Chain A
Amino acid sequence: MATKSLLARNNDLANTARQMEVLSSGIFADGELPTFANKLKESNQFPLQPKKLEILQINLGYMCNQVCAHCHVDAGPDRKEIMTLETMQQCLEVIKNTGAHTLDLTGGAPEMNPNFREFVEAAANAGIKDFIVRSNLTILRANKKYHDLPAFFKKHNIHVVSSMPHWTRGKTDKQRGDGVFNKSIEALHMLNAVGYGKEDSDLKLDLVYNPSGAFLPGDQMALEKDFKKALKRDFNIDFDHLFAITNLPISRFLDYLIASENYEEYMFSLVDAYNPAAVANVMCTNTLSVSWDGYLYDCDFNQMLNLKVASKVKHIADYNEAILQERNIIINQHCYGCTAGAGSSCQGVVA
Protein backbone atom coordinates (compact mmCIF):
# COMPACT_ATOMS: atom_id res chain seq x y z
CA MET A 1 0.00 0.00 0.00
CA ALA A 2 1.41 3.35 -1.08
CA THR A 3 1.67 6.01 1.59
CA LYS A 4 2.69 8.86 -0.71
CA SER A 5 1.02 10.59 -3.65
CA LEU A 6 2.23 10.02 -7.21
CA LEU A 7 3.45 13.61 -7.05
CA ALA A 8 5.65 12.95 -4.00
CA ARG A 9 6.91 9.75 -5.63
CA ASN A 10 7.88 11.71 -8.78
CA ASN A 11 5.75 9.23 -10.74
CA ASP A 12 5.56 9.91 -14.47
CA LEU A 13 1.74 9.97 -14.27
CA ALA A 14 1.71 12.89 -11.80
CA ASN A 15 2.23 14.83 -15.03
CA THR A 16 -1.26 15.36 -16.47
CA ALA A 17 0.07 15.84 -20.01
CA ARG A 18 1.54 12.33 -19.78
CA GLN A 19 -1.88 10.96 -18.72
CA MET A 20 -3.53 12.64 -21.70
CA GLU A 21 -0.89 11.10 -23.97
CA VAL A 22 -1.63 7.61 -22.62
CA LEU A 23 -5.39 8.14 -23.12
CA SER A 24 -4.92 9.33 -26.70
CA SER A 25 -2.41 6.78 -27.96
CA GLY A 26 -2.29 3.00 -28.37
CA ILE A 27 -5.68 1.33 -28.88
CA PHE A 28 -7.39 4.70 -29.50
CA ALA A 29 -4.77 5.98 -31.95
CA ASP A 30 -4.66 2.82 -34.09
CA GLY A 31 -8.47 2.69 -34.34
CA GLU A 32 -8.93 -0.55 -32.41
CA LEU A 33 -11.31 1.38 -30.16
CA PRO A 34 -13.31 4.48 -31.15
CA THR A 35 -12.42 7.76 -29.43
CA PHE A 36 -15.09 9.15 -27.09
CA ALA A 37 -15.75 12.01 -29.54
CA ASN A 38 -16.45 9.56 -32.36
CA LYS A 39 -18.71 7.51 -30.12
CA LEU A 40 -20.71 10.66 -29.25
CA LYS A 41 -20.99 11.49 -32.95
CA GLU A 42 -22.53 8.06 -33.64
CA SER A 43 -25.50 9.00 -31.45
CA ASN A 44 -25.55 12.68 -32.47
CA GLN A 45 -24.50 13.79 -28.98
CA PHE A 46 -21.38 15.72 -30.05
CA PRO A 47 -20.40 18.31 -28.93
CA LEU A 48 -21.46 17.79 -25.35
CA GLN A 49 -22.97 20.93 -23.85
CA PRO A 50 -24.14 21.90 -20.38
CA LYS A 51 -27.81 21.96 -19.37
CA LYS A 52 -29.13 23.93 -16.40
CA LEU A 53 -26.46 24.38 -13.71
CA GLU A 54 -27.57 22.63 -10.52
CA ILE A 55 -24.45 21.79 -8.56
CA LEU A 56 -21.31 23.75 -7.71
CA GLN A 57 -18.66 21.26 -6.66
CA ILE A 58 -15.85 22.95 -4.78
CA ASN A 59 -12.57 21.24 -4.03
CA LEU A 60 -11.26 22.64 -0.74
CA GLY A 61 -7.82 21.09 -1.17
CA TYR A 62 -5.91 17.94 -2.07
CA MET A 63 -4.70 17.25 1.47
CA CYS A 64 -6.07 14.02 2.91
CA ASN A 65 -5.33 11.75 5.87
CA GLN A 66 -5.62 8.73 3.56
CA VAL A 67 -3.74 7.60 0.44
CA CYS A 68 -6.25 5.42 -1.44
CA ALA A 69 -4.94 3.18 -4.19
CA HIS A 70 -7.53 4.33 -6.74
CA CYS A 71 -7.65 8.06 -5.88
CA HIS A 72 -8.15 10.21 -8.98
CA VAL A 73 -7.17 13.32 -7.02
CA ASP A 74 -3.79 11.82 -6.03
CA ALA A 75 -4.64 13.17 -2.58
CA GLY A 76 -2.65 12.49 0.57
CA PRO A 77 -0.99 13.96 3.65
CA ASP A 78 1.86 15.29 1.49
CA ARG A 79 -0.39 17.42 -0.73
CA LYS A 80 -0.27 21.06 0.31
CA GLU A 81 -2.78 22.53 -2.16
CA ILE A 82 -5.43 24.09 0.09
CA MET A 83 -8.09 26.66 -0.83
CA THR A 84 -7.28 30.08 0.68
CA LEU A 85 -9.73 32.43 2.41
CA GLU A 86 -9.45 34.77 -0.58
CA THR A 87 -10.61 32.08 -3.04
CA MET A 88 -13.36 31.06 -0.60
CA GLN A 89 -14.52 34.67 -0.58
CA GLN A 90 -14.69 34.61 -4.40
CA CYS A 91 -16.71 31.38 -4.23
CA LEU A 92 -19.13 32.99 -1.76
CA GLU A 93 -19.72 35.90 -4.16
CA VAL A 94 -20.68 33.35 -6.82
CA ILE A 95 -22.84 31.35 -4.39
CA LYS A 96 -24.91 34.48 -3.69
CA ASN A 97 -25.83 34.82 -7.37
CA THR A 98 -25.74 31.35 -8.87
CA GLY A 99 -28.75 29.41 -10.11
CA ALA A 100 -27.18 26.26 -8.68
CA HIS A 101 -29.09 24.85 -5.69
CA THR A 102 -26.48 22.46 -4.33
CA LEU A 103 -23.01 23.08 -2.93
CA ASP A 104 -20.89 19.93 -3.08
CA LEU A 105 -17.71 20.13 -0.99
CA THR A 106 -14.92 17.72 -1.76
CA GLY A 107 -11.15 17.27 -1.52
CA GLY A 108 -8.86 15.54 -0.38
CA ALA A 109 -10.55 15.59 2.97
CA PRO A 110 -12.51 18.87 2.80
CA GLU A 111 -12.69 18.95 6.61
CA MET A 112 -8.89 19.36 6.73
CA ASN A 113 -9.10 22.83 5.23
CA PRO A 114 -8.58 25.04 8.33
CA ASN A 115 -11.43 27.32 7.22
CA PHE A 116 -13.87 24.53 6.37
CA ARG A 117 -16.44 25.35 9.08
CA GLU A 118 -16.33 29.09 8.51
CA PHE A 119 -16.87 28.50 4.80
CA VAL A 120 -19.91 26.25 5.38
CA GLU A 121 -21.40 28.82 7.77
CA ALA A 122 -20.84 31.69 5.34
CA ALA A 123 -22.36 29.66 2.49
CA ALA A 124 -25.38 28.83 4.66
CA ASN A 125 -25.76 32.55 5.40
CA ALA A 126 -25.50 33.21 1.66
CA GLY A 127 -28.59 31.05 1.17
CA ILE A 128 -27.31 27.55 0.36
CA LYS A 129 -29.72 24.96 1.77
CA ASP A 130 -28.50 21.85 0.04
CA PHE A 131 -24.98 20.96 1.19
CA ILE A 132 -23.03 17.86 0.35
CA VAL A 133 -19.78 17.04 2.13
CA ARG A 134 -17.75 14.18 0.69
CA SER A 135 -16.24 12.78 3.85
CA ASN A 136 -13.78 9.88 3.89
CA LEU A 137 -15.16 8.89 7.35
CA THR A 138 -11.78 8.19 8.98
CA ILE A 139 -11.19 11.93 9.33
CA LEU A 140 -13.90 11.92 12.03
CA ARG A 141 -11.62 9.64 14.05
CA ALA A 142 -8.27 11.12 12.97
CA ASN A 143 -7.93 13.81 15.61
CA LYS A 144 -9.89 15.11 18.59
CA LYS A 145 -10.59 18.38 16.81
CA TYR A 146 -12.72 16.47 14.28
CA HIS A 147 -14.77 14.47 16.82
CA ASP A 148 -17.59 17.01 16.86
CA LEU A 149 -17.96 17.07 13.07
CA PRO A 150 -21.12 14.89 13.11
CA ALA A 151 -22.78 17.54 15.30
CA PHE A 152 -21.56 20.28 12.96
CA PHE A 153 -22.89 18.40 9.92
CA LYS A 154 -26.21 17.99 11.70
CA LYS A 155 -26.44 21.67 12.62
CA HIS A 156 -26.29 22.64 8.94
CA ASN A 157 -28.29 19.65 7.73
CA ILE A 158 -25.35 18.65 5.54
CA HIS A 159 -25.86 15.65 3.32
CA VAL A 160 -22.90 13.38 4.06
CA VAL A 161 -21.56 11.21 1.23
CA SER A 162 -18.86 8.75 2.24
CA SER A 163 -16.69 6.19 0.52
CA MET A 164 -17.02 2.55 1.52
CA PRO A 165 -15.68 0.13 -1.09
CA HIS A 166 -16.92 -3.03 0.60
CA TRP A 167 -18.71 -4.36 3.65
CA THR A 168 -15.70 -6.53 4.49
CA ARG A 169 -12.51 -5.38 6.17
CA GLY A 170 -10.10 -7.02 3.71
CA LYS A 171 -11.40 -5.38 0.55
CA THR A 172 -11.79 -1.98 2.20
CA ASP A 173 -8.32 -1.84 3.73
CA LYS A 174 -6.66 -3.04 0.53
CA GLN A 175 -8.06 -0.05 -1.36
CA ARG A 176 -8.02 2.60 1.35
CA GLY A 177 -5.24 1.60 3.75
CA ASP A 178 -4.73 -0.55 6.86
CA GLY A 179 -7.17 0.19 9.63
CA VAL A 180 -9.50 2.25 7.45
CA PHE A 181 -12.37 -0.22 7.71
CA ASN A 182 -12.51 -0.22 11.54
CA LYS A 183 -12.25 3.57 11.71
CA SER A 184 -14.93 3.94 9.04
CA ILE A 185 -17.26 1.71 11.05
CA GLU A 186 -16.61 3.85 14.16
CA ALA A 187 -17.32 7.01 12.16
CA LEU A 188 -20.56 5.55 10.78
CA HIS A 189 -21.63 4.76 14.36
CA MET A 190 -20.94 8.41 15.28
CA LEU A 191 -23.06 9.62 12.34
CA ASN A 192 -25.87 7.17 13.15
CA ALA A 193 -25.77 8.30 16.79
CA VAL A 194 -26.69 11.90 15.88
CA GLY A 195 -29.43 10.68 13.55
CA TYR A 196 -27.70 10.29 10.18
CA GLY A 197 -29.02 7.52 7.93
CA LYS A 198 -31.91 6.69 10.26
CA GLU A 199 -35.25 5.91 8.68
CA ASP A 200 -37.21 8.61 10.55
CA SER A 201 -34.51 11.27 10.10
CA ASP A 202 -33.97 13.94 7.45
CA LEU A 203 -30.20 13.72 7.91
CA LYS A 204 -28.96 12.00 4.78
CA LEU A 205 -26.03 9.60 4.81
CA ASP A 206 -25.12 7.98 1.50
CA LEU A 207 -22.24 5.65 0.82
CA VAL A 208 -20.09 5.51 -2.29
CA TYR A 209 -18.91 2.20 -3.69
CA ASN A 210 -15.92 2.08 -6.05
CA PRO A 211 -14.75 -1.28 -7.37
CA SER A 212 -11.46 -2.27 -5.75
CA GLY A 213 -9.79 -3.29 -8.99
CA ALA A 214 -9.95 -3.40 -12.78
CA PHE A 215 -13.65 -4.17 -13.09
CA LEU A 216 -16.86 -2.18 -13.36
CA PRO A 217 -19.44 -1.72 -10.61
CA GLY A 218 -22.39 -4.09 -10.69
CA ASP A 219 -26.04 -3.13 -10.34
CA GLN A 220 -26.37 -0.26 -7.85
CA MET A 221 -29.64 -1.51 -6.32
CA ALA A 222 -28.33 -5.05 -5.81
CA LEU A 223 -25.12 -3.76 -4.24
CA GLU A 224 -27.09 -1.41 -1.99
CA LYS A 225 -29.18 -4.32 -0.78
CA ASP A 226 -26.06 -6.38 0.01
CA PHE A 227 -24.34 -3.44 1.77
CA LYS A 228 -27.41 -2.66 3.87
CA LYS A 229 -27.91 -6.24 4.91
CA ALA A 230 -24.27 -6.82 5.85
CA LEU A 231 -23.65 -3.49 7.62
CA LYS A 232 -26.86 -3.89 9.63
CA ARG A 233 -26.19 -7.51 10.55
CA ASP A 234 -22.48 -7.13 11.37
CA PHE A 235 -22.34 -3.62 12.85
CA ASN A 236 -25.91 -2.34 13.30
CA ILE A 237 -25.20 0.50 10.84
CA ASP A 238 -27.90 2.33 8.87
CA PHE A 239 -27.48 4.50 5.78
CA ASP A 240 -29.73 5.86 3.05
CA HIS A 241 -28.40 5.05 -0.40
CA LEU A 242 -25.40 3.51 -2.07
CA PHE A 243 -23.87 5.25 -5.10
CA ALA A 244 -22.02 2.82 -7.36
CA ILE A 245 -19.27 4.79 -9.09
CA THR A 246 -17.00 3.62 -11.90
CA ASN A 247 -13.27 4.23 -11.51
CA LEU A 248 -12.06 6.54 -14.28
CA PRO A 249 -8.75 5.70 -15.94
CA ILE A 250 -6.79 8.68 -14.64
CA SER A 251 -4.18 9.42 -11.97
CA ARG A 252 -3.50 6.63 -9.45
CA PHE A 253 -6.08 4.29 -10.94
CA LEU A 254 -4.50 4.72 -14.39
CA ASP A 255 -1.10 4.04 -12.84
CA TYR A 256 -2.51 0.85 -11.32
CA LEU A 257 -4.15 -0.24 -14.61
CA ILE A 258 -0.89 0.15 -16.52
CA ALA A 259 1.32 -1.44 -13.84
CA SER A 260 -1.02 -4.45 -13.51
CA GLU A 261 -1.35 -4.81 -17.31
CA ASN A 262 -5.10 -4.26 -17.11
CA TYR A 263 -5.28 -0.98 -19.02
CA GLU A 264 -6.36 -2.26 -22.47
CA GLU A 265 -8.79 -4.81 -21.09
CA TYR A 266 -10.35 -2.15 -18.83
CA MET A 267 -10.76 0.30 -21.71
CA PHE A 268 -12.42 -2.46 -23.78
CA SER A 269 -14.84 -3.07 -20.87
CA LEU A 270 -15.68 0.64 -20.68
CA VAL A 271 -16.21 1.00 -24.42
CA ASP A 272 -18.23 -2.24 -24.64
CA ALA A 273 -20.49 -0.95 -21.86
CA TYR A 274 -20.99 2.48 -23.51
CA ASN A 275 -24.59 3.60 -23.05
CA PRO A 276 -25.86 6.62 -25.04
CA ALA A 277 -28.72 7.01 -22.53
CA ALA A 278 -26.16 7.66 -19.79
CA VAL A 279 -24.56 10.41 -21.91
CA ALA A 280 -27.73 12.49 -21.61
CA ASN A 281 -27.28 12.79 -17.83
CA VAL A 282 -23.54 12.81 -17.22
CA MET A 283 -22.69 15.11 -14.34
CA CYS A 284 -20.71 17.62 -16.41
CA THR A 285 -24.06 18.68 -17.88
CA ASN A 286 -25.36 20.01 -14.53
CA THR A 287 -22.24 20.54 -12.43
CA LEU A 288 -19.29 22.92 -12.40
CA SER A 289 -16.10 21.97 -10.61
CA VAL A 290 -13.98 24.59 -8.84
CA SER A 291 -10.40 23.75 -7.89
CA TRP A 292 -8.60 24.77 -4.67
CA ASP A 293 -7.01 27.67 -6.56
CA GLY A 294 -10.31 28.87 -8.06
CA TYR A 295 -10.13 27.55 -11.62
CA LEU A 296 -13.24 26.15 -13.30
CA TYR A 297 -13.62 22.70 -14.82
CA ASP A 298 -16.39 20.65 -16.43
CA CYS A 299 -15.95 18.01 -13.72
CA ASP A 300 -13.67 16.82 -10.95
CA PHE A 301 -11.90 14.46 -13.35
CA ASN A 302 -11.11 17.20 -15.86
CA GLN A 303 -9.80 19.20 -12.92
CA MET A 304 -7.34 16.43 -12.11
CA LEU A 305 -6.29 16.30 -15.77
CA ASN A 306 -5.82 20.09 -15.71
CA LEU A 307 -8.42 20.57 -18.50
CA LYS A 308 -9.90 23.97 -17.67
CA VAL A 309 -13.29 24.90 -19.12
CA ALA A 310 -13.34 25.88 -22.80
CA SER A 311 -14.67 29.35 -22.10
CA LYS A 312 -13.20 32.80 -21.84
CA VAL A 313 -14.26 32.61 -18.18
CA LYS A 314 -11.79 30.23 -16.57
CA HIS A 315 -11.59 31.44 -12.98
CA ILE A 316 -14.12 31.90 -10.18
CA ALA A 317 -13.01 35.56 -9.87
CA ASP A 318 -14.38 36.20 -13.40
CA TYR A 319 -17.46 33.98 -12.97
CA ASN A 320 -20.28 34.59 -15.43
CA GLU A 321 -22.87 31.83 -15.54
CA ALA A 322 -24.41 32.88 -18.86
CA ILE A 323 -21.07 32.84 -20.66
CA LEU A 324 -20.06 29.54 -19.04
CA GLN A 325 -23.31 27.90 -20.06
CA GLU A 326 -22.45 28.46 -23.73
CA ARG A 327 -19.27 26.39 -23.61
CA ASN A 328 -18.60 22.97 -25.07
CA ILE A 329 -17.60 20.36 -22.50
CA ILE A 330 -14.04 19.06 -22.87
CA ILE A 331 -14.01 15.32 -23.42
CA ASN A 332 -11.44 12.59 -23.84
CA GLN A 333 -11.27 8.83 -23.48
CA HIS A 334 -11.53 8.96 -19.66
CA CYS A 335 -15.16 10.08 -20.19
CA TYR A 336 -16.07 6.48 -21.09
CA GLY A 337 -15.95 5.92 -17.31
CA CYS A 338 -19.11 8.01 -16.83
CA THR A 339 -21.09 6.43 -19.68
CA ALA A 340 -20.54 2.72 -18.98
CA GLY A 341 -23.60 0.64 -18.18
CA ALA A 342 -26.05 2.55 -16.03
CA GLY A 343 -23.61 5.47 -16.07
CA SER A 344 -21.64 6.96 -13.22
CA SER A 345 -21.54 10.31 -11.48
CA CYS A 346 -20.85 11.76 -8.04
CA GLN A 347 -24.55 11.00 -7.38
CA GLY A 348 -24.27 7.38 -8.54
CA VAL A 349 -25.92 5.90 -11.64
CA VAL A 350 -27.54 8.25 -14.16
CA ALA A 351 -29.42 5.94 -16.54
Chain B
Amino acid sequence: MAKPYYDASDLRKFGKITEWSEELGNKFFDYYGKVFEEGALTAREKSLIALAVAHTEQCPYCIDAYTKDGLERGITKEQMMEAVHVGAAIKSGATLVHGVQMMNKVNKLEM
Protein backbone atom coordinates (compact mmCIF):
# COMPACT_ATOMS: atom_id res chain seq x y z
CA MET B 1 0.00 0.00 0.00
CA ALA B 2 1.30 3.42 -0.90
CA LYS B 3 2.24 5.66 2.02
CA PRO B 4 0.23 8.86 2.39
CA TYR B 5 2.02 12.14 1.72
CA TYR B 6 1.07 13.49 5.14
CA ASP B 7 1.84 11.68 8.41
CA ALA B 8 0.45 13.28 11.61
CA SER B 9 3.49 12.16 13.61
CA ASP B 10 5.76 14.22 11.27
CA LEU B 11 4.62 17.38 13.07
CA ARG B 12 6.69 16.36 16.11
CA LYS B 13 9.75 16.19 13.82
CA PHE B 14 9.30 19.77 12.59
CA GLY B 15 12.21 20.94 14.76
CA LYS B 16 14.54 18.65 12.84
CA ILE B 17 14.60 21.05 9.87
CA THR B 18 17.37 22.88 11.75
CA GLU B 19 19.60 19.81 11.30
CA TRP B 20 20.13 20.48 7.62
CA SER B 21 20.32 24.25 7.87
CA GLU B 22 20.94 25.28 11.41
CA GLU B 23 21.15 29.04 11.08
CA LEU B 24 18.07 29.49 8.90
CA GLY B 25 16.09 26.93 10.90
CA ASN B 26 16.89 28.60 14.20
CA LYS B 27 16.11 32.04 12.81
CA PHE B 28 12.75 30.76 11.64
CA PHE B 29 11.84 29.19 15.00
CA ASP B 30 12.99 32.28 16.93
CA TYR B 31 10.84 34.44 14.67
CA TYR B 32 7.92 32.04 14.92
CA GLY B 33 8.08 31.98 18.72
CA LYS B 34 8.27 35.76 18.90
CA VAL B 35 5.30 36.22 16.57
CA PHE B 36 3.02 34.25 18.88
CA GLU B 37 4.00 36.03 22.08
CA GLU B 38 1.54 38.34 23.80
CA GLY B 39 1.84 41.74 22.09
CA ALA B 40 -0.58 44.32 20.76
CA LEU B 41 -2.71 41.24 20.12
CA THR B 42 -3.30 38.65 22.83
CA ALA B 43 -1.85 35.16 22.41
CA ARG B 44 -5.45 33.96 22.25
CA GLU B 45 -6.31 36.28 19.34
CA LYS B 46 -3.19 35.14 17.53
CA SER B 47 -4.15 31.52 18.05
CA LEU B 48 -7.53 32.13 16.36
CA ILE B 49 -5.89 33.97 13.44
CA ALA B 50 -3.48 31.05 13.06
CA LEU B 51 -6.38 28.61 13.04
CA ALA B 52 -8.18 30.54 10.30
CA VAL B 53 -5.03 30.81 8.19
CA ALA B 54 -4.25 27.13 8.79
CA HIS B 55 -7.53 26.36 7.05
CA THR B 56 -7.09 28.73 4.14
CA GLU B 57 -3.58 27.33 3.65
CA GLN B 58 -5.10 23.86 4.08
CA CYS B 59 -2.14 22.75 6.17
CA PRO B 60 -3.15 19.60 8.09
CA TYR B 61 -0.28 19.96 10.57
CA CYS B 62 -1.26 23.55 11.36
CA ILE B 63 -4.94 22.59 11.73
CA ASP B 64 -4.01 19.87 14.25
CA ALA B 65 -1.66 22.19 16.10
CA TYR B 66 -3.94 25.23 16.36
CA THR B 67 -7.06 23.24 17.17
CA LYS B 68 -5.22 21.75 20.14
CA ASP B 69 -3.74 25.14 21.01
CA GLY B 70 -7.24 26.64 21.00
CA LEU B 71 -8.59 23.94 23.31
CA GLU B 72 -5.68 24.51 25.68
CA ARG B 73 -6.56 28.20 25.80
CA GLY B 74 -10.21 27.44 26.59
CA ILE B 75 -11.38 28.64 23.16
CA THR B 76 -14.79 27.10 22.44
CA LYS B 77 -15.66 25.11 19.34
CA GLU B 78 -18.16 27.80 18.34
CA GLN B 79 -15.37 30.40 18.40
CA MET B 80 -13.08 28.10 16.40
CA MET B 81 -15.75 27.50 13.76
CA GLU B 82 -16.42 31.24 13.45
CA ALA B 83 -12.70 31.78 12.88
CA VAL B 84 -12.73 29.15 10.12
CA HIS B 85 -15.68 30.96 8.53
CA VAL B 86 -13.70 34.20 8.56
CA GLY B 87 -11.00 32.42 6.58
CA ALA B 88 -13.58 30.87 4.26
CA ALA B 89 -15.30 34.22 3.71
CA ILE B 90 -12.04 35.85 2.68
CA LYS B 91 -11.23 32.91 0.41
CA SER B 92 -14.64 33.01 -1.29
CA GLY B 93 -14.62 36.79 -1.35
CA ALA B 94 -11.23 36.70 -3.00
CA THR B 95 -12.66 34.43 -5.68
CA LEU B 96 -15.83 36.42 -6.18
CA VAL B 97 -14.21 39.84 -6.25
CA HIS B 98 -12.41 38.63 -9.38
CA GLY B 99 -15.87 38.48 -10.88
CA VAL B 100 -15.55 42.22 -11.30
CA GLN B 101 -12.53 41.63 -13.54
CA MET B 102 -14.63 39.19 -15.55
CA MET B 103 -17.43 41.76 -15.81
CA ASN B 104 -14.97 44.47 -16.87
CA LYS B 105 -13.58 42.20 -19.55
CA VAL B 106 -17.03 41.26 -20.83
CA ASN B 107 -18.09 44.90 -20.91
CA LYS B 108 -14.93 45.81 -22.80
CA LEU B 109 -15.21 43.04 -25.37
CA GLU B 110 -18.95 43.07 -26.03
CA MET B 111 -20.46 45.52 -28.44
Contact = CB atoms under 8 A, between A and B. Distances in A.
Contacts of A216: 72
A211 interface: yes
A215 interface: yes
Contacts of A218: 72-74
Contacts of B73: 218-219, 222-223
B102 interface: no
B76 A222 contact: no
B71 A215 contact: yes
A268 B43 contact: no
Contact of A222 (B12, B44, B68, B71): B44
Interface in A146-160: none
A226 B74 contact: yes
A211 B74 CA distance: 8
A211 B68 CA distance: 11
A335 to B, nearest CB: 21
A219 B43 CA distance: 10
Given A222-B43, A222-B44, A272-B12, A168 B72 contact: no
Contacts of B12: 268, 272
A215 B72 contact: yes
A77 interface: no
A227 B42 CA distance: 16
Contacts of B44: 222, 226
Interface in B49-78: 68, 71-74, 76
B88 to A, nearest CB: 23
A170 B43 CA distance: 24
Contacts of B68: 215
B76 A168 contact: yes
Interface of B: 12, 42-44, 68, 71-74, 76
Given A215-B68, A216-B72, A272-B12, 17 more contacts: A166-B74, A167-B74, A209-B74, A211-B71, A211-B72, A213-B71, A215-B71, A215-B72, A217-B72, A218-B72, A219-B73, A223-B73, A223-B74, A226-B44, A226-B74, A227-B74, A268-B12
